[in-house]
Structure 1
Amino acid sequence: MGEQPIFSTRAHIFQIDPATKKNWVPTSKHAVTVSYFFDSSRNVYRIISLDGSKAVINSTITPNMTFTKTSQKFGQWADSRANTVYGLGFSSESHLSKFADKFAEFKEAARLAKEKSQEKMELTSTPSQGGAVKRNVSPAITHVFKKESTTAPPQSPLTSESVNGTEDERAVPDAPHAAEARGGAEPSHNALPFSHSSPGLSKHWEAELAALKGNNAKLTAALLESTANVKQWKQQLAAYQEEAERLHKRVTELECVSGQSATARSDKTELNRTIGELEVALKAKEDELERLKMDVQSANQFHSQRDSLTHKLQAVELRNQALEAQLDELEQRVEADQREREVFRQSLRSLLQLLDGKILELSELREALAKLLECS
């Protein structure tokens, strides 16, 4: 096939959304291998990436492409033939820089290869035009030379001038005068034969001139037709080259797919097993997610209950503080009452003592009055 990978890396692949032309659509579920391929037979560089058996990138590098770094780990380029924009997300900035450097290098190589191919096309098209003109001209010229060699006299002075093609119009009308001038300079024994043959030669060369004019018109028409054919052939050649390149890309893609069919089947089996495991894991994760949702709901309920209890606790604490303040006030009042009672008791004791003294005095007074009464 002649096409070999020359650089490979791994990246996440995206394509621009054809509907919005703004959003990126991922074309691979995970990071895949992205490779530069070089076709030595056609001097073509391509970017190819396969996700299993599916070709997610098949882009031919042309000189008018540009790879743009839009962030530290993301780059993109537009492919007019595929009518899309590809985007690559790398794991690090160094991988992006290496890929961008290789893109610029292979783009320059593609430009040089295109210039060389254009030079070769120009070189090959130029001889083809010459060959076409030569094929059109050669039979007429050969016929004219054959006719002149069979009809013209061997020593005629007009033979060398009639072969000049475009100078015939000037050479033939002046031929009699030129012959007369030359005849005057030659010996006298040549003048008689030339004078007898000049009328026949004049008619002959007039016929030859008319034939050459007709051949010249035919050659001009053939040259114009060959020029138009060359332009048409160039357009057809460009169309054939584009079609051949498209077919070659399709054949390469099919060869890549067929070459990887065996590994694709094993990969498919492995992927099916992995998918089964992932589905089981996904089911477990979904169950766990449901359990976590229930836990979250219960936690939310607990949070709401905690908030309500917190509010109640705060209210109880406020009430407790108020009760403590009342208790302190009551204790102070009890202490004050106790002090007042103590003072009252002391007053009562003093009054009792005073009363006891008064009672004792009254008793002594009674006894004295009783004695006085008895004495009287």
Structure 2
Amino acid sequence: MGEQPIYTTRAHVFQIDPTTKKNWVPASKQAVTVSYFYDSSRNSYRIISVDGTKVIINSTITPNMTFTKTSQKFGQWADSRANTVFGLGFGSEQQLSKFAEKFQEVKDAAKLARDKSQEKGETLSNHSQVKESGRDTPSADQASSFNGTDDEKISHVGPEAAQLKSENERLKSVVEQSNTNTKKWETELQTLRENNARLVDALQESSANVETWKKQLNACKEESDTLRQKIAELEAQCNDANQEKQRNAQLTVRVKELESELQEKEQELENLRKQAEIIPQLMGECESITAKLKVCLKQHFILLLRFTSEP
């Protein structure tokens, strides 16, 4: 039947930067379909995602893999075969949780399949060893036949035992290769864990920096508000100063007017002083005229008496 999809969702796909091993590089410009596939013929599971005609995820799930939630909507896992780390950004926390649950289910199924395969290999190996031990202790009749040529020995052992021995050797080779790959994957997993720890430390440091920047921003806002208040006070003072200038200008005009009036009064006073200097002379002349007038009146009175006294 081949591979069949067992779960499908949509997410933004990222891959770790192969150079820095820290930054995420977008593998898709928008959310794409991400599916779990099961291959019944191989008893294996894969995560596959295609953006248009480009395959951006082709990851076979192994029991050693771990899916890690790094935020409420983002998760990641390392694929040593692809030599990268995949990251998925979901639209909601529920989608992330569902994908993580399915990853664990597939991982457990892959582990169970591996265990069954190992048990089968061990069973075949034990069965082969039993047959070989049986051949090591043959009966008297069989012993006589082993004294022949190599061709006779091979024909006596039979094709079934040879096939079991070949299968046993192949399984041993697979187990050794699996152990080698396991050690390699464990080393890569440890490296990825260390990288993840560094990423977590960097994220925590970034969070601490964000908090510091927020405090600095709040301090700047408070300082800005204080400066705005001072500017408003200075503008009010400037308005008062402008009004004071206007009053000073009015007072200056008034002072000039008063100075002009004062000059006029001084001129009048000077004229009065000059007139006051003439007054004594005029009074003297007035007294002289008054005396002359008295003499004239006296003479006139005498003449009038004389005129009235004559017969």
Aligned partner of 1:30: which letter? Q
- CA–CA distance in structure 2, aligned partners of residues 96 and 237 of structure 1: 35
- CA–CA distance in structure 2, aligned partners of residues 237 and 104 of structure 1: 25
Change (3 A) 1:48 1:228: same
Deviations, residues 301-343 of structure 1 (Å, cap 9, x unaligned): xxxxxxxxxxxxxxxx999789647624523422542563575
CA drift at 1:229:
4.9
1:233 aligns with 2:170: yes
- CA–CA distance in structure 2, aligned partners of residues 81 and 106 of structure 1: 17
- CA–CA distance in structure 2, aligned partners of residues 240 and 340 of structure 1: 121
Task: Report the 3-state secondary structure (helix = DSSP H, G, I; strand = E; otherwise coil) of the residue aligned with 2:122.
Answer: helix
- CA–CA distance in structure 1, aligned partners of residues 2 and 21 of structure 2: 36
The equivalent residue for 2:120 is: 120
1:297-376 equivalence runs, <5 A: 324=246, 327-337=249-259, 340-341=262-263, 344=266, 347=269, 361-362=283-284, 364-368=286-290, 371=293
- CA–CA distance in structure 1, aligned partners of residues 71 and 177 of structure 2: 40
- CA–CA distance in structure 2, aligned partners of residues 240 and 68 of structure 1: 27
The equivalent residue for 1:6 is: 6
Change (3 A) 1:81 1:126: same
The equivalent residue for 1:37 is: 37
Unaligned runs of 5+ in 1: 146-164, 166-210, 242-316
CA drift at 1:11:
1.4
Q: 1:37, 1:46 within 8 Å by CA — same for their partners in 2?
A: yes
Q: 1:10, 1:90 within 8 Å by CA — same for their partners in 2?
A: yes
Task: Report the 3-state secondary structure (helix = DSSP H, G, I; strand = E; otherwise coil) of the residue aligned with 1:13.
Answer: strand
The equivalent residue for 2:110 is: 110
1:72 aligns with 2:69: no
CA drift at 1:116:
2.0
Change (3 A) 1:20 1:229: same
Q: 2:48, 2:59 within 8 Å by CA — same for their partners in 1?
A: yes
CA drift at 1:60:
1.0
- CA–CA distance in structure 2, aligned partners of residues 339 and 37 of structure 1: 110
What fraction of aligned residue pairs are identical, expressed as a percent? 47
Aligned length: 229
Q: 1:13, 1:86 within 8 Å by CA — same for their partners in 2?
A: yes
Q: 2:67, 2:100 within 8 Å by CA — same for their partners in 1?
A: yes
- CA–CA distance in structure 1, aligned partners of residues 279 and 289 of structure 2: 15
Q: 1:129, 1:230 within 8 Å by CA — same for their partners in 2?
A: no
- CA–CA distance in structure 2, aligned partners of residues 212 and 52 of structure 1: 68
Which residue among 119, 141, 145 is the counterpart of 1:144? 141
Aligned partner of 1:85: which letter? V
Task: Report the 3-state secondary structure (helix = DSSP H, G, I; strand = E; otherwise coil) of the residue aligned with 2:119.
Answer: helix
- CA–CA distance in structure 2, aligned partners of residues 240 and 323 of structure 1: 97
Aligned partner of 1:234: which letter? L
Change (3 A) 1:349 1:212: same
The equivalent residue for 1:88 is: 88
Aligned partner of 1:88: which letter? L
RMSD: 4.7
Aligned partner of 1:27: which letter? A
Change (3 A) 1:129 1:46: same
Unaligned runs of 5+ in 2: 179-238, 300-311
- CA–CA distance in structure 1, aligned partners of residues 175 and 50 of structure 2: 30
- CA–CA distance in structure 2, aligned partners of residues 237 and 364 of structure 1: 159
CA drift at 1:4:
1.6
